[in-house]
Structures are given as structure tokens and as C-alpha cells.
Structure 1
Amino acid sequence: PLEWMLKCHTGPNELYVQVGDGGQDHGFWGRPEDMTMSRPAYKITASRPGSDIAAEYAAAFAVSYLVFKEKDPEFATKLLTHAKQLYDFAVHHKARYSDSVNQAAAYYRSDKYEDELTWGAAWLYRVTNDTKYLSWAEQFYITGPDWGQSWDDKYSGNMILLYNMTGKDIYKNDIEATFNDWMPGGSIPYSPKGMAFRSQWGALRYASNMAFMALLAADVGIHPDEYRHWARTQIGYALGDSGRSFVVGFGTNPPKRPHHRSSSCPSRPSPCSFADQQQPGPNPHTLYGALVGGPNGNDQYTDDRKDYVSNEVACDYNAGFQSAVAGLKHLKL
């Protein structure tokens, strides 16, 4: 994935950010290798910038530098070079990427770019110890409790990173205010069986993402016992403490009909089409490990491939979930 992302950065102020048109892509049900329609690529440039996505790429490359700096120093150096270029692009050409790439707006409209400017700068400061990045991270920081970490929201991650690096109370206070909202008794409702229900579309995504954030906050010394216990309850719910699993191929009564094109297709040479979306049986292929969106606020869930709100799977659903599972395993919770 990192090599693919590096190829997208084709110049200091040029970054490809989307492949395919969302309307056409959603009009196709089949295997990805059978998508032979036109799939245009869209980029941001100095004249049509996207601070949020450029800074997000910078953050990803900076984090990956830490992963590869010892096992592959040459590759790590390349990642860091691109991270610095992309952050310079992001901070000196400010705009939301979805305002520059209209084709992204219908599906992944960005709310703000300031949180990503903080996110990218904080990770670059963590890697380089260059105070200009810390200055930018604090300049663009948005204070207050977080709605919930997601592809469009880096607030919780920013709080934890900056508190860990500076020890300042402003960041600790925002972390505590965030989890005061998220934990029982706060402003976020809970299902009868104990899921923090932030939003119906991908409900378990938000609960899992914030479980991961809680584990990270605990690691920097903020209410470690309370936050770790809460994270365990949310991940436990997804894995089956609720009475059923919401992870494909795992646990008791897991989802068998995730809203996922290729796993719903029969084996070749049989064709695949929207008829396979409609067929009532389990997906022919098991998408092991995928977290589905999950139930509503009353713990009600139907394993229905056509219900993309509750049964869709996505990279951003699994990212926080798998990270939280890894954190709980590390702690043996």
C-alpha cells in the first residue's frame, strides 16, 4: 500500500487522490478485476489543493518511517522525504480536497482540513523533532471534545499525540472531555447490551475507533484502568459479548452476507452481477475478519447483503477495530 501511495505523489504539489467515479463504480456489482469501464483518476495541485488529504498522506508516510527506519532505512528515508513535501504542499496551499475534486464530494466530503494539518505536523514532529512541525500542529489544533475518530476526524488522535509530546493540560482536558461524552452517563446513548451508539451508519466503526483511542490515551497515563475497561466492553460487543459476532468468519453466528461485491460472487467461470447481490444465501466466499457496520441503537441487526448501512464493510471500519484488538491482546485483557 505504501508503494502505491508513493506512486500517487507525482510531484511536490501534485497528488492523485481518487481512482474511479463513485456513481459508475456503485453501478457495478462484480469482481474488481472485471471492472473494465473507464475509471478516471483525480488529483490535487497547487491551483486545486487539498490540505486534508495531503496532510493525511504526510502523516501516513511519517508513521511508516518509524516502522521501516531500521529494517529498510532507504525506503524509510524515501517515505520521510515524501512526507515533508506533502506537508509543505498541505500547509502552503490550503483547501478541502473535496472542494477541489468534485467527484469526491458525493461520497467522502471533507468537513475541515485543520485537524489533518495538526495530524500530519504532529507525526512529523514525532519523527524529526523539528519544532516548526510542533508549531504548526499547535497552531491548527481545534480544542474541545471529539465527535469520534474517523476518516474525516483526527481530533482524538491529535489530543493524544500532542499530550504525549508536550504534557500540556489543554490536550489532557480535551481527552477527558471526549471520553466523558463517550462513556456511560455522557451525551452518547448506549444500546441495551452496551454499545456506544454514535451513528447508525457503521455504528461499530465509531465504537471500535474510540476503543482504540481509549487504549492509546490509557498508554499515556490518562485513567488507564477505566479507559482500558471501557475499550474492552466495546470490542467485546463486536466480537460476541452481545450474543452474536459482527466479524465475518469469527465467533458465534457471524455475518454471512456482508455488503461486499467480490465475496458475494460465485467462483469462476460463473458470471457475477446484481443478481448475486439479491440472492438470499450466504456469500460464496468468507471475508474473514471483516467488521460489518452493525446494529441499530436497540441492538437490532439483520444479516442482509442489500442493507449497506448495517452490513457494509470498509477499510476504515477495520482499522480502529483491529488496532484495538491488538492493543487488548498486548495488555492480555
Structure 2
Amino acid sequence: MGSFSSLLVLLCVLMLVKQGTANYNSSLSYQHHQRSPALHNYREALSKAILFFEGQRSGKLPANQRISWRRNSGLSDGASAHVDLTGGYYDAGDNVKFGFPMAFTTTMLSWSVLEFGGFMGSELSNARTAIRWATDYLLKATAHPGTIYVQVGDPNNDHKCWERPEDMDTARTAYKIDSQNPGSDVAAETAAALAAASLVFRKTDPSYSKRLIHASMMVFDFADKHRGPYSNSLKSAVCPFYCSYSGYQDELLWGAAWLHKATKNPKYLNYVQANGQSLGADESDNTFGWDNKHVGARVLLSKEFLIGKVKSLQDYKGHADNYICSILPGTAASGSKYTPGGLLYTLPDANLQYVTSASFILLTYAKYLSASKHLVSCGGMTVTPRKLRAIAKRQVNYILGSNPLEMSYMVGYGSKYPQRIHHRGSSLPSVAQHPQAIGCSAGFQALNSNAPNPNLLIGAVVGGPDCNDHFANDRNDYEQSEPSTYINAPLVGSLAYLAHSTRS
């Protein structure tokens, strides 16, 4: 996080405090922009949130590709290292395949299906396809014992160009971790992704599921045995883009939790019990996203106590409660900030990633609490599952257009949405419209243009408004206008639940 972003955070906090909204002390403020809530078509939004992933695909596209302005790209990925690393996803608006956020995206897509896939209807097969596009790549990246390929593309050179993925002419360097250059964070997140996905395919494709869980166990063992943050090993290739700011302990706990869920092998429960505290299970951090997984691990493990009756994991219910209390407005433990319009506000850079992740956690934890007939106690306040669902719904509604600007932050949903998103392929003429290659520098004319993007990246959720509910709709403002896979992934689960709960 640069000094400029830190200054923005400080300014936002000061504005929020000045406006009296920092802790939502006034229920009137909380409801201010909910006076006439719009009726949202969650089923439509779900379809589009999943469709977005097709626009982020790398590799050879299938015949049933629905975002038709995309074409094949990255077909030689891995060739410099004599391995096949084709496929997978571009994480956001650039043309690099960052393994760390891709693995988290996969874990969250899988968790969305595991918790709410029964509500997805015809979209369930599309969600599975989105997961498999990632896991096919992750299997390739982990196919060589003692080595994990964690990135394709030099981000420093990539960011000097503005070109379609179909035209890439920058170095497609393959970056790896191994025993001499460890990366427990990205390795353990990859293990979590493979384990979670193995559960998604357990009934529909048992042999594929077994491949995923076998790879997950091998990768987790590697992550635990060769400890260290991948940022130290790869330095400028991953920083400041996807540095592991929170360390690798959270991913080890998260990975072990998913392997316990997927295998029921006692060694993973024993691992959690023996190492949980040293891995930060009881830390007070209250963000959940591609970098910090503590919150997710706490909630996932709390289910084992609440529903699985594993008494040794009772503390995780308390840890999960602490997170819930920290983000609920009006509680003594609340440390979260909200905009005047009611949006959870964490950081200026792609803030909606924290909103979609928190909303998913609220709905998932509410599910566990309801099934076990438990509540959350926040000091003197008792919080019900219904309350958690209501807060999550308000956050999702804000994203879909129930906000001061009456703007949907999902491209292609509603009548008013971002027209100039920070995304190379969307902002440049498609190959069908402009068959000739667009060079590295030539594309910057599109970046700096005020014209709407010529290609709609349907379903893309952008970084979102600032701390005062303002949105510039400026392609150059990547903090507000860039979409990413890890913003959409947890939103898929939330939309599935809401589509089911509000059906007629």
C-alpha cells in the first residue's frame, strides 16, 4: 500500500468520523439510502456474475465461449520454462496470470457452490465450469514435484503496455517457488483451492475430484515443510501487485481447514488443533480477501463445532463471533467504517472486494448459526442470523444500484453502470472489429479516452465508490474502475442465496 493510498484512507476516515457515520451510531443514517429499496433481479445478477469469468479466460477458448469478443490468448504460456501453463484467468484488467489471487478466486467460487449451489439452478453448471477453468490450470502449475508455478507474465513490463490479451508481446515469464525459494502463502492457498474444488466435483466427476485432492495434499505438505512468504522469493515480480502483506500463517490455517473438510483425515484436524494459535487463529484482524484468510478459516472451522460437534474447535465459534461483532454497525466492538450511503468501507483500492467477501461470510455464518440454533453475542447485543442476512443483503443491494448515485457497480446490470472500466480487452476494439494487432503503446489512446468501452465485460464488478459514495467512472482510476475475479467470486454465492430467498 503506497503512501498516497494511505493518505486516502486517512482522509476517508476523517470524513466518515466528521459525518458521524464511522460506526453507524445513528440508525437513521444507516437507513438513509434504503428509503425506497429497488427490487433487484438477483437471478439475472447471478448469471452475469458467473459469465464475467469467461471474459477473464486465458488460453484456447472453447466453442461455447459466450463472451464472443474475446479470442485465444497466452497459448505459449510456460514455454520459456518448458512446461504447459496455458489456461487459467487474468486476475483483473491486465494480462498477467497471478497465481495467488487466482487460487483465492477458485476457493471462493468453490465455497459459493458448496454453500449455495443448490440455489443456483441452471447456473450451477456454469459455476462448475468457471471453477474447472481455474483448477485445470492449477493442476498444471502443481504437476512438477517440489515446484509450483505461481505466475505467468512480467507485471512490470505488462503494465507499461495497454494491449489486448490476444496481442500480448511482453515477456511471458513463468515464476515458480521451490524448496530454495519458498512461498507458503501461495502454496497453501493453492492447496485450499484444490481441496475446496474437489468437494464441488466429488459427485459429478469423482476421478477429477480425486486428482484435485491428491494434488492439494501434496501442495499443502510442501507449503508447511518449506515455510516462507513468496514475496521474499519473487520480490518485484509480485510486489506491490500481490505482496503477501499478512504473511503465510493465515493460508496454512485456511489450507488445513479445507483439507480437513475435504478429506476428514484426522491429521488435518490435529494440525489445526496443534498449530491454530501460532498461525493467528485468535488475531483481531477483520478483513477477508485474497491476502488475509484468517476470517474465512475461523468461519469454516466454526462449522465443525456448530454442526459437526467437534468440541475442540469451540474457540473458533468465538473467533468468528469476534469478526461479526467487528463489522456490525452499532456494536461496542465495531471497528468498521461505512460510507454515508451505507457501504462497508475498508480500503480505497478495490473496496468492493471486501464488501463481497464480508457479505458472503455473513450469509454463510448465518446459515451455520441457523442450522445449529446459535446466536452471536456482541457485548450486550444479541445478533440473530436474520440480522446478518439483512446486513449482507443491503451490501449486495448497494452494489446492484441501491446507493446514492443509483448506479449498479456490475457492468451490464441495470440501466446505469460503469462505462469506462479499467480493463484492456474491454477498452480496445475487439479482434473481430480490428483484426490487426494493436501495439503496446498504441493502446494508451484508448486508456486515456473518454469514450465508453467498446466491449461490455458483462457481470464485471468494479472496485467501487470512494468513502463518500462518489464514483469517477474514469478508466484511469484503477482503484475504483478495475474489475477482478476475487471481487466476483464471493458475490456468486451471495447472489445465489438472495435469488433463492426472494423467489416468488
- Secondary structure of 1:241's partner? coil
* Structure having greater relative contact order (Cα 8 Å, sep ≥ 6): 2
1: CA distance between counterparts of 2:213 and 2:183?
Answer: 20
1: CA distance between counterparts of 2:283 and 2:240?
Answer: 28
Q: Percent identity?
A: 37
1:185-264 matches, within 5 Å, as 185=330, 186-221=334-369, 222=375, 223-242=384-403, 243-264=406-427
Match of 1:56 among 183, 189, 202: 189
2: CA distance between counterparts of 1:189 and 1:150?
Answer: 17
Indicate conservation of the 8 Å contact 1:65/1:77, yes or no. Answer: yes
What does residue 306 of structure 1 align with? 476
1:146, CA displacement in angstroms?
3.5
Indicate conservation of the 8 Å contact 2:305/2:317, yes or no. Answer: no
1:116, CA displacement in angstroms?
0.6
1: CA distance between counterparts of 2:209 and 2:286?
Answer: 33
Which is worse superposed, 138-147 or 71-80? 138-147
What does residue 455 of structure 2 align with? 285
1:4, CA displacement in angstroms?
1.1
- Secondary structure of 2:498's partner? helix
What does residue 254 of structure 2 align with? 119
Which is worse superposed, 15-24 or 102-111? 102-111
Where in structure 1 do 4 or more consecutive aligned residues deviate above 3 Å?
Answer: none
Task: Report whether the alignment pairs 1:172 with 2:342.
Answer: no
1:246, CA displacement in angstroms?
0.8
1:119, CA displacement in angstroms?
0.9
1:330, CA displacement in angstroms?
3.1
Which is worse superposed, 64-73 or 78-87? 64-73
Deviations 1:80-114 (A, max 9, x none): 11011001101111111111112112211102111
Which is worse superposed, 134-143 or 272-281? 134-143
1:78, CA displacement in angstroms?
0.8
Q: Where does the alignment leave 5 or more consecutive residues of structure 1 unmatched? A: none
What does residue 105 of structure 1 align with? 239
Indicate conservation of the 8 Å contact 1:144/1:177, yes or no. Answer: no
1:32-111 matches, within 5 Å, as 32-102=165-235, 103-110=237-244, 111=246
- Secondary structure of 1:12's partner? coil
Indicate conservation of the 8 Å contact 1:209/1:321, yes or no. Answer: yes
- Secondary structure of 1:17's partner? strand
Q: Indicate the RMSD between aligned Cα atoms, in angstroms.
A: 1.5
1:25, CA displacement in angstroms?
0.8
Task: Report whether the alignment pairs 1:156 with 2:295.
Answer: yes
Indicate conservation of the 8 Å contact 2:231/2:238, yes or no. Answer: yes
1:323, CA displacement in angstroms?
2.3
Match of 1:19 among 149, 152, 173: 152
Deviations 1:112-150 (A, max 9, x none): 111111111111111111111112223144213432110
Deviations 1:272-321 (A, max 9, x none): 61001111111001111111111111101111101101111111111122
2: CA distance between counterparts of 1:80 and 1:189?
Answer: 39
Q: Which amino acid aligns with 1:246?
A: Y
2: CA distance between counterparts of 1:11 and 1:101?
Answer: 19
Indicate conservation of the 8 Å contact 1:145/1:175, yes or no. Answer: no
1:12, CA displacement in angstroms?
2.6
1:331, CA displacement in angstroms?
2.8
- Secondary structure of 2:149's partner? strand
2: CA distance between counterparts of 1:218 and 1:12?
Answer: 40
2: CA distance between counterparts of 1:215 and 1:95?
Answer: 33
Q: Which amino acid aligns with 1:211?
A: S
Normalized against structure 2, the TM-score is what? 0.64
Match of 1:129 among 244, 247, 264: 264
- Secondary structure of 1:11's partner? coil
What does residue 31 of structure 1 align with? 164
2: CA distance between counterparts of 1:137 and 1:120?
Answer: 10
Q: Which amino acid aligns with 2:470?
A: Q
2: CA distance between counterparts of 1:92 and 1:119?
Answer: 16
Paired residues in the alignment total: 333
2: CA distance between counterparts of 1:64 and 1:181?
Answer: 30
2: CA distance between counterparts of 1:40 and 1:316?
Answer: 23
Q: Where does the alignment leave 5 or more consecutive residues of structure 2 unmatched? A: 1-133, 307-312, 370-374, 376-383
1: CA distance between counterparts of 2:272 and 2:415?
Answer: 44
2: CA distance between counterparts of 1:93 and 1:290?
Answer: 37
Normalized against structure 1, the TM-score is what? 0.96
Indicate conservation of the 8 Å contact 1:15/1:45, yes or no. Answer: yes
1:21, CA displacement in angstroms?
1.2
1: CA distance between counterparts of 2:155 and 2:169?
Answer: 15
Deviations 1:188-218 (A, max 9, x none): 1211110011111111211111000111111
2: CA distance between counterparts of 1:159 and 1:331?
Answer: 25
Q: Which amino acid aligns with 2:303?
A: N
1:46, CA displacement in angstroms?
0.9
What does residue 273 of structure 1 align with? 443
